[in-house]
């Protein structure tokens, strides 16, 4: 191999916590060759981001220290003074971060943010810098670049912002690009665009890329070699093909088996648990099959007809309604006891609003919602209380959805006591029982939420939801914020509970692969409307609507041997904002298979 | 979730897991005791509160009992001895009242007025603020305009007008102080309640069909407490000062129930004739009390500020 561009040897980074030094990264070594892409993959707390920050020396000098050797083109980055690093940072090493909004200054024009770098590092000025900025925006495929120089970051969408950040990183033609979770905050179709862009640019510029991610699908898609990190240490490094073909370390195997793969469910007609991996031996136990839980012969527990939820947008002194966000537009579906219906779509498609409208956390503007025979929209106070007991929600962020000042035992007991299901005296026993059912221990009752990890907190939320013995659980992106292996465990738990209690799930998610794993039926949402709904196998194996196809095509495939150059459409996600006098067209659906409906395209409908 | 915060969070979680389960209240108290300035403040305030509460037992003389006073002992310098052999530690005022005893009893009145008015104003203000934030819309706008109007008048002016109408008395001055103070609490609580209301745990509580009142007082209010506690500490000090000012001006408390402000006012006319102690020692007691409360408040503000969490 040619001389590596970057060579990290025995890197150890420690942080000072409460006056004590704790090592967060230990003895990490890897090389990146010229024009090579190396992925560092691991879960939260594995030290992957700290490794990147250590290379750039971006950690606060007082509270963090790094030892070892980081050689960049023969120069030891750790040895020199910080000023020397300043010349390398943003010049010979470019960096892009996860959150494109926070890495751009919101009050400066895009143009001046790019020309600033050009002035500083390349000594260009005035018209010269401007011309170069236009060229850079062209490189990252931002249409009508010259016109957009005068705009502010808020005028750009998430994907476009990330392109601008990449343009800035490229400004000095770096030899190495460090990308720290650059696509995690983006929607899947936009993620596909950005990954494609990074690959193309790497070829054009001949640079090396250090790609940090938690997503094995993205790893398979982009990297030549992969470094797997676990609790601050490198547990395995090999070519990406080798890792995916025959991972040696138990942790790598566990990580891989927990990765939902789109298409892995072909031929299955029920949801499937994730296989369990023994962390000592690395042996993979096949998952027990799920039972058939759907109660086909009973009337559906939830019946939604022509639900509409719109948010008025007001302007001016008189606060007149100038337009509306059509968050949910004329959707209908049913859900049976023991069935999982997934709502999938990208951000802003109205899937969360749909879930919230069901129990009137958002007030619907039209349509009917029937919950076990009760009319939700017409329900009075006491009837709504009864409905909300039967429908429980689990939210996305387990750090947010538990009150930080209430002990978890009390948090779980509270709804039961308020609704008179148990007395104060009986509550602790019942809480302990619930905690054990979700895989925690009853002794944890006395603790506060901040003493738990993300996965544990989500289990607590599930225990609390179960406390009221609901018929239906609305899971709003409930596993999206969790690490892969924890995500797999929580999904397995949800499947166990479905078998045990015959729960219906309305599973709201943007993650196609997870949806494929857990659902009986799937509804694809776009701009507030359901464009396709049907049995899981039918929707994933024979998608009919162009948007469903686009969504499935954009999901990264966790298999490097199936890597392909994709032609990714460069279009943006559109906004569901409409002027006040807009009349939503009546949508028609065509049945293409048993229970499989597809929205008829406008041009067809007119004919 | 940005990368650095993710790291910070996991490091923090590790550290938290190591320590035993401690309630937020105890954590705050622990941190407060580790701050030397706050510790001094806390000690002084505790000492003064004890002195005030047990004044009848500690004070060598009951300053209200005219039978114990001797006009012949009037305006004695600190350390002088009375006819009966009693030593006046801090001297006496023009009536022959022992200043040390008068200060202890004065503290009683000042603390009572300060704490009672702050507590009542807090209860009213917090309820209004919570309700305003939770109701939103027109109700919120209406209540907050009232708060704005209230805050646009100087507190002393409102208190003056009130006392002019109501007359003197401890209950009346407490009422006047509540009227001038509640708006601060209302605004503070509304601000943090607006933030808390949008957090997922409130949605979770609503989706569990918990009654609104419970969500407001059991879920939202405790999370608004940190800024509220800080404001409350500072406001207690302010209320004591305002009461002293009013009493100094002669419209606060009746002469029969001397607070610290009234004692300062009593000695005012003798200041120039060299009998400084009649005003000075009550003033000093007031100063020490207020500075100590503010030291605690400052420290609390630093501890409870989430941005300073390291």
SS (H, E, C) A400-415: CCCCCCCCHHHHHHHH
Contact (CB, 8 A) for A552 and A540: yes
Name the average pLDDT for chain A. 86
SS (H, E, C) A53-67: HHHHCCCCCCCEEEE
Q: Is the pLDDT of residue A287 over 50?
A: yes
What is the β-pairing status of strands B80-81 and B87-88? Answer: antiparallel
- Quick: pLDDT tens for A388-438: 999 999 988 887 889 988 889 999 999 999 998 999 999 999 999 999 988
Q: What is the pTM of this model?
A: 0.80
Nearest residue to A69 via CA among A12, A17, A129: A12
If pLDDT is split at 50, 70 and 90, which confidence band does A153 have? confident
B10: closest chain A residue by CA: A45
Cα A105 from chain centroid (whole Å) = 24
Q: Which domains does chain B have, with CATH numbers?
A: 24-62+73-308 (1.10.3720.10)
Tokens found for residue A304:
């939604």
Q: What percent of chain A has pLDDT over 70?
A: 96
Q: Do residue A361 and residue B16 have CB atoms under 8 angstroms apart?
A: no
Q: What is the rounded CA–CA span in Å between residue A345 and residue A511?
A: 8
Strand partners, A311: A325
- pLDDT top residue among A231 and B11: A231
- Which residue has tokens 């022992």? B98
Q: What integer pLDDT is reported at residue A262 of this predicted model?
A: 74
Residue A30 vs residues A7, A175, A228: alpha-carbon distances, Å: 6, 17, 11
**Other C-beta atoms lying within 10 Å of the C-beta of residue A197:** 20
Q: What integer pLDDT is reported at residue A1 of this predicted model?
A: 54
If pLDDT is split at 50, 70 and 90, which confidence band does B137 have? confident
**Other C-beta atoms lying within 10 Å of the C-beta of residue A61:** 9
Q: Which domains does chain A have, with CATH numbers?
A: 6-257 (3.40.50.300), 302-405+448-555+565-606 (3.40.50.300)
Q: What is the rounded CA–CA span in Å between residue B158 and residue B151?
A: 10
A283 interface with B at CB cutoff 8 Å: no
Q: What integer pLDDT is reported at residue A307 of this predicted model?
A: 94
Q: What is the rounded CA–CA span in Å between residue B252 and residue B247?
A: 4
Q: What integer pLDDT is reported at residue B190 of this predicted model?
A: 94
- DSSP letter at A89 equals B
Surface of A (155-194) touching B: CB under 8 A: 180-181
Partners of A45 on chain B (C-beta within 8 Å) are: 6-7, 10, 13
Partners of A404 on chain B (C-beta within 8 Å) are: 24, 201, 223
Q: What integer pLDDT is reported at residue A100 of this predicted model?
A: 67
Q: What integer pLDDT is reported at residue B5 of this predicted model?
A: 39
Nearest residue to B8 via CA among A177, A375, A24: A24
Name the average pLDDT for chain B. 81
* Segment (H or E) for A330: strand A320-335
Nearest residue to A545 via CA among A588, A574, A586, A575: A588
What is the β-pairing status of strands A233-239 and A93-96? Answer: unpaired
CA atoms within 13 A on the CB side of A164: 32
A63: closest chain B residue by CA: B310
A416: closest chain B residue by CA: B208
In this structure, which long-range contacts are made by residues A290-295, counting pairs with CB atoms below 8 Å and at least 24 apart in sequence? A290/A495, A290/A498, A290/A499, A291/A499, A293/A338, A293/A339, A293/A498, A293/A499, A293/A502, A294/A336, A294/A337, A294/A338, A294/A339, A294/A520, A295/A336, A295/A337, A295/A338, A295/A339, A295/A502
Q: What integer pLDDT is reported at residue B86 of this predicted model?
A: 73
* Segment (H or E) for A597: strand A596-599
Q: Is the pLDDT of residue B306 over 90?
A: no
- Quick: pLDDT tens for A362-402: 899 999 999 988 999 988 888 999 999 999 999 888 878 89
What is the β-pairing status of strands A20-32 and A176-180? Answer: unpaired
SS (H, E, C) A333-366: EEECCCCEEEEECCCCCCHHHHHHHHCCCCCCCE
Surface of B (163-222) touching A: CB under 8 A: 199-201, 203-211, 214, 218-219, 222
A419 interface with B at CB cutoff 8 Å: yes
- In sequence order, the 6+-apart residues with CB closer than 8 A to the CB of A259 are A216, A217, A484, A513, A558
If pLDDT is split at 50, 70 and 90, which confidence band does A572 have? low
Q: What integer pLDDT is reported at residue A277 of this predicted model?
A: 74
Strand partners, B49: none
Q: Is the pLDDT of residue B151 over 50?
A: yes
- Quick: pLDDT tens for A157-192: 778 888 888 888 888 888 999 998 888 878 888 888
Q: Is the pLDDT of residue A571 over 70?
A: no
Q: Which of A48-57, A284-293, B61-70, B247-256 has the highest mean pLDDT?
A: A48-57
- Which residue has tokens 């939503």? A584
Give the residue ranges of DSSP H helices in B19-169: 24-34, 36-53, 55-58, 99-135, 137-152, 155-166
- Which residue has tokens 């794993």? A517
Q: Report the gap between the CA of A70 and the closest CA in chain B (Å).
A: 20
A60: closest chain B residue by CA: B4
Q: Do residue A418 and residue B207 have CB atoms under 8 angstroms apart?
A: no
Contact (CB, 8 A) for A551 and A512: yes
Average pLDDT over residues A91-108: 81
Average pLDDT over residues B130-143: 90
- Quick: pLDDT tens for B16-60: 444 446 677 777 888 888 888 889 999 999 999 998 888 888 877
If pLDDT is split at 50, 70 and 90, which confidence band does A569 have? low
Nearest residue to B215 via CA among A385, A585, A54, A543: A385
If pLDDT is split at 50, 70 and 90, which confidence band does B310 have? very low
B16 interface with A at CB cutoff 8 Å: yes
3-state SS class at A174: coil
Surface of B (67-86) touching A: CB under 8 A: none
If pLDDT is split at 50, 70 and 90, which confidence band does B12 have? very low
Q: What integer pLDDT is reported at residue B2 of this predicted model?
A: 36
Tokens found for residue A394:
């689990």
**Other C-beta atoms lying within 10 Å of the C-beta of residue A323:** 17
Q: What percent of chain A has pLDDT over 90?
A: 31
**Other C-beta atoms lying within 10 Å of the C-beta of residue B94:** 14
Q: What integer pLDDT is reported at residue A82 of this predicted model?
A: 81
- Check: complex ipTM more than 0.90: no
**Helix%, strand%, coil% for chain A, nearest 5:** 35, 25, 40
Partners of A419 on chain B (C-beta within 8 Å) are: 209
Nearest residue to A270 via CA among A296, A295, A294: A294
pLDDT-wise least confident of A438-447, A566-575, B45-54, B224-233: A566-575
Q: Is the pLDDT of residue B15 over 50?
A: no
Q: Do residue A392 and residue B208 have CB atoms under 8 angstroms apart?
A: yes
Q: What is the rounded CA–CA span in Å between residue B159 and residue B174?
A: 10
**Other C-beta atoms lying within 10 Å of the C-beta of residue A481:** 20
- Quick: pLDDT tens for A293-311: 888 888 899 999 999 999 8
Q: What sign for the dihedral angle of Cα A57, A61, A63, A69?
A: positive
If pLDDT is split at 50, 70 and 90, which confidence band does B7 have? very low
Q: Do residue B21 and residue A446 have CB atoms under 8 angstroms apart?
A: yes
If pLDDT is split at 50, 70 and 90, which confidence band does A101 have? low
Contact (CB, 8 A) for A184 and A214: yes
What is the β-pairing status of strands A20-32 and A75-76? Answer: unpaired
């Amino acid at each position: 191999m040619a001389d590596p561009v970057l060579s990290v040897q025995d890197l150890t980074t420690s942080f000072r916590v409460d006056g004590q030094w704790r090592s967060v990264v230990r003895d990490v070594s890897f090389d990146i060759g010229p024009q090579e892409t190396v992925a560092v993959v691991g879960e939260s707390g594995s030290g992957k981001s700290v490794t990147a920050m250590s290379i750039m020396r971006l950690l606060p000098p007082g509270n963090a220290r790094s030892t070892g050797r980081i050689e960049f083109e023969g120069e030891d980055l750790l040895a020199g003074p910080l000023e020397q690093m300043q010349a390398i940072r943003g010049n010979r090493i470019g960096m892009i971060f996860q959150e494109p909004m926070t890495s751009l200054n919101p009050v400066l024009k895009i143009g001046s943010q790019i020309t600033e770098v050009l002035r500083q590092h390349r000594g260009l000025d005035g018209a010269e810098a401007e011309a170069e900025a236009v060229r850079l925006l062209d490189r990252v495929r931002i249409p009508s670049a010259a016109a957009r120089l005068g705009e502010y970051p808020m005028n750009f969408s998430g994907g476009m912002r990330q392109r601008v950040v990449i343009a800035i990183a490229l400004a000095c033609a770096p030899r190495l690009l460090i990308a720290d979770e650059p696509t995690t905050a983006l929607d899947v179709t936009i993620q596909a665009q950005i990954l494609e862009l990074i690959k193309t640019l790497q070829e054009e510029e001949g640079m090396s890329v250090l790609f940090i991610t938690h997503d094995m699908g993205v790893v398979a898609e982009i990297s030549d070699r992969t470094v797997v990190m676990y609790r601050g240490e490198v547990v395995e490094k090999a070519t990406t093909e080798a890792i995916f073909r025959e991972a040696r370390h138990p942790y790598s195997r566990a990580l891989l088996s927990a990765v939902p793969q789109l298409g892995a469910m072909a031929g299955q007609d029920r949801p499937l648990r994730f296989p369990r991996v023994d962390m000592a031996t690395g042996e993979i136990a096949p998952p027990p099959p799920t039972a058939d839980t759907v109660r086909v012969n009973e009337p559906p527990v939830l019946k939604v007809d022509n639900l509409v939820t719109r948010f008025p947008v007001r302007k001016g002194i008189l606060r007149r309604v100038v337009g509306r966000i059509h968050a949910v537009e004329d959707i209908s579906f049913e859900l049976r006891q023991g069935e999982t219906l997934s709502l999938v779509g990208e951000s802003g498609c109205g899937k969360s609003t749909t879930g919230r409208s069901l129990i009137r956390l958002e007030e619907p503007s039209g349509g009917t919602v029937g919950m076990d025979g009760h009319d939700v929209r017409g329900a009075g106070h006491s009837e709504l209380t009864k409905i909300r007991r039967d429908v429980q929600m689990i939210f996305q962020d387990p750090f947010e959805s538990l009150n930080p000042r209430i002990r978890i035992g009390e948090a779980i007991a509270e709804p039961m006591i308020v609704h008179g299901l148990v007395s104060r005296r009986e509550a602790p026993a019942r809480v302990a029982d619930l905690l054990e059912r979700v895989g925690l221990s009853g002794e944890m009752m006395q603790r506060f939420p901040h003493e738990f990890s993300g996965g544990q907190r989500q289990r607590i939320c599930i225990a609390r939801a179960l406390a009221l013995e609901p018929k239906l659980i609305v899971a709003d992106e409930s596993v999206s914020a969790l690490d892969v292996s924890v995500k797999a465990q929580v999904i397995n738990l949800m499947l166990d509970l479905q078998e045990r209690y015959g729960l219906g799930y309305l599973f709201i998610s943007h993650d196609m692969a997870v949806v494929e794993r857990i659902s009986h039926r799937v509804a694809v949402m776009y701009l507030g409307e359901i464009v396709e709904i049907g049995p899981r196998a039918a929707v994933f194996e024979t998608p009919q609507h162009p948007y469903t196809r686009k969504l499935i095509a954009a999901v990264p495939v966790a298999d490097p041997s199936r890597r392909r150059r994709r032609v990714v459409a460069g279009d943006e996600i559109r906004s569901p904002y409409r002027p006040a006098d807009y009349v939503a067209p009546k949508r028609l659906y065509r049945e293409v298979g048993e229970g499989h409906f597809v929205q008829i395209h406008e041009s067809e409908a007119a004919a | 979730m940005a990368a650095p915060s993710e790291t910070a969070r996991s490091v923090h979680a590790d550290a938290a897991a190591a320590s035993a389960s401690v309630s937020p209240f105890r954590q705050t108290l622990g941190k407060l005791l580790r701050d030397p300035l706050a510790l001094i403040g806390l000690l002084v305030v505790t000492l003064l509160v004890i002195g005030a509460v047990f004044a009848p037992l500690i004070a060598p003389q009951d300053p209200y009992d005219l039978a114990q006073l001797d006009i012949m002992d009037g305006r004695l310098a600190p350390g002088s001895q009375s006819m009966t052999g009693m030593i006046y530690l801090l001297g006496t005022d023009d009536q022959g009242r022992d200043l040390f005893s008068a200060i202890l009893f004065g503290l009683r009145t000042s603390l009572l007025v300060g704490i009672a008015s702050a507590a009542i104003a807090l209860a009213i203000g917090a309820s209004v603020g919570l309700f305003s934030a939770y109701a939103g819309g027109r109700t919120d706008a209406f209540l907050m305009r009232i708060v704005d109007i209230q805050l646009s008048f100087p507190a002393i002016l409102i208190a003056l007008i009130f006392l002019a109408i109501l007359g003197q008395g401890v209950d009346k001055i407490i009422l006047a102080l509540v009227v001038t103070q509640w708006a601060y609490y209302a605004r503070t609580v509304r601000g943090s309640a607006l933030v808390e209301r949008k957090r997922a745990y409130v949605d979770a509580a609503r989706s569990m069909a918990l009654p609104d009142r419970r969500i407001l007082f059991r879920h939202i209010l405790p999370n608004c407490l940190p800024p509220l506690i800080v404001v409350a500490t500072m406001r207690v000090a302010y209320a004591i000062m305002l009461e002293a000012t009013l009493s100094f001006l002669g419209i606060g408390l009746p002469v029969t129930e001397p607070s610290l402000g009234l004692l300062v006012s009593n000695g005012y006319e003798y200041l120039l004739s060299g009998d400084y102690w009649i005003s000075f020692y009550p003033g000093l007691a007031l100063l020490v009390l207020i500075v100590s409360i503010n030291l605690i408040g400052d420290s609390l503000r630093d501890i409870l500020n989430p941005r300073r969490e390291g």
